[in-house]
Amino acid sequence: MAPKAIIAPSILSADFANLGHDCSKTMSQGADWLHVDIMDGHFVPNLTWGPPIVAKIRGHVETPTEAYGKGTFDCHMMIAEPKKWVKEFKKAGCDLYCFHYEAAFSTAAESPEAKSDKKTSPKELIKYIHDQGMLAGIALKPATSVDVLWEILESEDPKERPDMVLIMTVEPGFGGQKFMASELPKVQELRKRYPELNIEVDGGLGPSTIDQAADAGANVIVAGSAVFGAQDPSEVIALLREAVEKRNGKL
């Protein structure tokens, strides 16, 4: 059975001066998750926010009562050293910690101030995230082949397998970019091999592009400006959900 549609508005497009209010409001307008973009100015050439801000907005959004539930904080970690920040974001209220494959061969240090010459790996990092009590996601930049994921998804140890794969449909780092349909074959291949996997797409998603993403097999939809910039965000969220559910047999 195909996984359910999950709509995760990206708070990168929210009003930063009223962030808590906007996060709470978008949940009331029908969002399932919040997509929280974390950028460090190293892995991507932009900066957003750290654990203290995430902790503050957590207070405005009810904590999910089950895995993948409403209110999940889907933290997209566009950072160069993802293992260092796992525990800090867990404390801040992160539910799903999604790191980039490209950054997963970095230091194995387990805190921001720590240093280690030992390197981590994608499977080790996924297991570590699970051991901290969070869901684990793995993201791919457009230039990275989907083939790098097969070994990870086929790991004999279930703790080393991700709960979600994120396929970037823009270059990570900035909101408001044009949708890259060239990345959808990655989604198609993932869905063909893993019918029940949560597959997220992020970048340029909105009413004009959702059908392409849904046709490819994506079920977790990140939309920033298309939701927060809409006259009626509830209508856009409903439209995105309907597009996915029509294709996975839920409607």
| Residue 14, φ and ψ in degrees, nearest 5 | -75, 170
Residue 147 falls in which region: left (phi positive, over 0), alpha (psi -120 to 50) or beta: alpha
Say how far apart CA 20 and CA 94 lie, in whole Å: 15
Task: Please list the alpha-helical segments (H only) found in 18-71.
Answer: 19-28, 51-58
Say how far apart CA 192 and CA 213 lie, in whole Å: 14
Residues 88, 51: contact at Cβ < 8 Å?
A: yes
Place of tokens 């086929």: 154
Q: How many CB atoms lie within 10 A of CB 106?
A: 21
Task: Please list the alpha-helical segments (H only) found in 142-248.
Answer: 150-153, 184-193, 210-216, 225-228, 233-247
Which residues are tagged catalytic?
Answer: 37, 202
Say how far apart CA 100 and CA 78 lie, in whole Å: 7
